[in-house]
Amino acid sequence: MRWWDLDAVLAIEGELFPEDAWSPGMFWSELAHARGAGASRHYVVAEDATGRLVGYAGLAAVDGTGDVQTIAVARSHWGTGLGARLLSDLLTAATAFECHEVLLEVRVDNARAQRLYERFGFEPIGFRRGYYQPGNVDALVMRLSGPAAPAAPTALTSDVVPGEGVDGPTEGPFDAATEQPPEHAPERAPETAPRAARETETGTHG
């Protein structure tokens, strides 16, 4: 993801997460930490055959721990497996950052997204009460130990993907799929705390 992608990114962000979309400044701040020798972020975009941006994802890496920041897939590409491929890309980046674990949050009522994460090797480790607002929905915290940059399982090509476009987790957070209207954690400065993963229905999430 580069600065010239932000208009398209923000359009998808606003559509999927109308109540708590990231501001342009939040994305600029994340991208400022994504380049150079001291980079601690990895942000990627996906384009269709015409060059139109149809998805994006981000990972933060601090002291050997990766945190899925966001995964979002345009509605036109739900059901294509793009969310799973974006998650796989984030795990590849986590390996490059030498992360010994990757964390994410997912809504407790989003069983489909949880199954996706489990297929990638994530395991539940706890809860965050009232993490997703509005709605006061708890978050299930999941962890993947020693990510080995696995390829997206072929069985996921028509499954739900992470995408609650990961403040905390999330082609929202991530962004994983949900059958509820997309929501994610309240806006927080990315430099100080990762946002909760957001989840969106990818139709196949994150």
Q: Which of these is catalytic: 13, 30, 105, 199? A: 105
The CA distance from 72 to 46, in Å, is: 10
Sequence letter at residue 71: I
pLDDT tens for residues 83-94?
A: 899 999 999 999
DSSP line for 1-30: --GGGHHHHHHHHHHH-TTTPPPHHHHHHH
Question: What is the reported pTM?
Answer: 0.73
Burial class for 27, CB neighbours closer than 10 Å (0-12, 13-18, 19+) = buried
118 is catalytic: no
Is 105 noted as a catalytic residue in this protein? yes
pLDDT digits (tens, 9 = 90+) for 121-143: 999 999 999 988 878 889 999 99
**Nearest residue to 58 via CA among 174, 139, 150, 149:** 174
CB atoms within 10 A of CB 126: 10
Active-site residue, selected from the candidate residues 43, 56, 117, 132: 117
C-alpha 64/C-alpha 94 separation (Å) is: 9
